Amino acid sequence: MADFDSQLTLGRLLPRLEARLAASAAAEPAAWQAFLRRVEQHFPRLLRLLRQLYQGHYDFFFYLEELLALMAQSWLERPPALRDLDAQREADPDWFQSHHMLGGVCYVDLFAGDLQRLRTKIPYFQELGITYLHLMPLFERPAGENDGGYAVTSYRRVHPPLGTMQQLRQLADALQAAGISLVLDFILNHTADDHEWAQRARQGDPYFRQYYYIFPNRQMPDAYERHLREIFPEEHAGAFSPLLSANGEPTGEWVWTTFHRYQWDLNYSNPATFNQMAAEMLFLANLGADVLRLDALAFAWKELGTVCESLPKAHTLIQAFNAVARMAAPGLLFKSEAIVHPDDVIGYIHPDECQLSYNPLLMALLWNSLATREVRLLQLALCERHNLPPGTAWVNYVRCHDDIGWTFSDEDAARLGIKGYDHRRFLNDFYTGRFAGSFARGLPFQENPRTGDCRISGTCASLAGLEKALREEGPEEVELAVRRILLLHGIILTTGGIPLIYLGDEIGLLNDYTYRSHPERARDSRWVHRPPADWERYARRHDAGTLEGRIFQGLQRLIRLRKSTPALAGGLLEVMQTGNEHVLGYTRASHGQQVLIFANFTEGEQTVAANVLRLSGIVAPVTDLLSGEVIPAGNLTLAPYRLVCLAVF
């Protein structure tokens, strides 16, 4: 019946669509036929999803027809080079699973100054081996506080100090020519309060007021907040803020602001909001974005009487956006940003939802393993939570622009005799340097003095001990810090998925405490790990006698290992029991090759018994594919923080 309904609906809508776009379709008959083929394939799914979201709306079919017209027009306007890329990726849907994939992420202004100068850094990206470049929010944003660009004034204008939309298109073209996929943020949960839609809503326009959650008094906000958690309680209590008039006077009304007062949550129970955001999404796709990071997607759907996080219809909503993309920009991928319980993270990962997802659990447990010198929690997570459905992949990272939260499962920890609350207190103390003997120099983010709860800010180098070693210790501690940095990156480069490097970490940039002198940043410790690129230090990357050279060249050896080892393609991983709680072991296999990786998470030598190697299929002597060292028969001895990659024959 569902197929019949979709065929009947499409049969009624297509003649109207063809009449509406007759001239455009006649100008590009091949493109029009390609669109119709995709509509025939994907429209039934889109109709089913939209009915789940909007069936009760009297004007449902009006918005459905408008959406279909929007998709068709967007496809016909899609540049030919992007249509060709769509065809290539439809023919090779697992293109992002290649062992040649390597990601980098940066802020345009902090890394290069502006879009024009960023184009001149493409040779550097190629030198590093990057094939996937995520540019942090670069769209127009409010002056002053703007959540690092995550408050969007316009999705169709670049933040003026960074350049113009034309320069962004030119950059996208240049990246594509260099074999680098462009990743942009699609901030779908909210807009800035100075966005045109918000301004129209503030002025009383009834159409645009429905784009947001605006209430005349506290009755509904109070009802919602009985079940909601506070995200930034030190800024504003609850999830709502007073709605101010254009001249800043209180109106008595309230608007939903999950994060900051200047970020108004979008109302996706309104089909007009969905259509408008689908238009913004396709605009970014036609600009040249290969991947969109879906920011704060867990919060996008609201229902009274619930926590309004990771609700079933939040998934339905993302799946509907996915179906739109399959018809109008079929090469486009989604990356989930869901920093939630590990059981909920996996719920967003599917070819029909988000093909990619950040892996916050791996990040948290890598730092946990460095602090504890034990791999038990990490081993359990890799064993039970790492492997994903076909057609999807993790994006693995050591750290990002955001804070580090200890997102491990309390249930997993309890199985190992670890109390989650107490362990998070320990990790917070360790990475803020308060724990005796800690090598880390991080800062607390959103600290609650009463409970001790917080998250951690800091660059990879400062958290891994380099800052303390340089300023308080000596050469031996510096060497250990460098090894920790390389070990962490060695894991994300070999576990499976797309490894993502926060640019600056590849030369060991330390915390930047000057953020405290900027009023709009001083309250946000995350700016400590967003230092501007120091190109004098980058120039030292080829000198192995410098710290920059030691880290950069060590990382390049790891990257060369990844790109020369087909077994590291894809994402499937099998954990190996090493018999040593300080040593992580896992097997990767693909393209007819199998390798075994061992990693020592301590500052002392560790041993893996010869029998473990034998049972794993290792025939000694064997060559470490990373160092080239021939490892003799017998027990495997691992130097401090060493990672080895052994071929299984």
- Active-site positions read 295, 337
**What SS3 class is residue 44?**
helix
Select from 123, 130, 125 the least CA-distant residue to 100: 130
φ/ψ of 344, rounded to 5, equals -85, -30
Question: What is the amino acid identity at position 633?
Answer: A
For residues 324 and 331, give the distance between their C-alpha atoms in angstroms, rounded to a whole number.
Answer: 12
Question: What is the amino acid identity at position 5?
Answer: D
Nearest 5 degrees, angle CA 420-CA 424-CA 426?
120
Q: Which residues pair with 435 in a beta bridge?
A: none
Question: What is the amino acid identity at position 279?
Answer: A
Residue 67 tokens, joined: 């959406």
The sign of the dihedral angle between the CA atoms of 537, 539, 543, 548 is positive
Q: 66 to each of 3, 13, 20, 70, 490, how far by Cα in Å? A: 21, 10, 11, 6, 48
Q: 486 to each of 283, 312, 333, 493, 555, how far by Cα in Å? A: 39, 40, 29, 10, 6
For residues 530 and 519, give the distance between their C-alpha atoms in angstroms, rounded to a whole number.
Answer: 16
Burial class (CB in 10 A: 0-12, 13-18, 19+), 483: buried
Contacts of the segment 370-375: beta carbons below 8 A, 24+ positions apart: 370/464, 370/484, 370/487, 370/488, 370/601, 371/426, 371/427, 371/430, 371/431, 371/438, 371/440, 373/582, 373/601, 373/602, 373/603, 374/581, 374/582, 374/601, 375/581, 375/582, 375/583, 375/584, 375/599, 375/601
Select from 128, 135, 137, 149 the least CA-distant residue to 106: 135
In sequence order, what DSSP letters do the residues of 622-646 get, joined into one string?
EEBTTT-PEEPSSPEEE-TT-EEEE
- Around 371, how many Cα atoms within 13 Å sit in the side-chain half-sphere? 28
Burial class (CB in 10 A: 0-12, 13-18, 19+), 91: exposed
φ/ψ of 594, rounded to 5, equals -135, 135
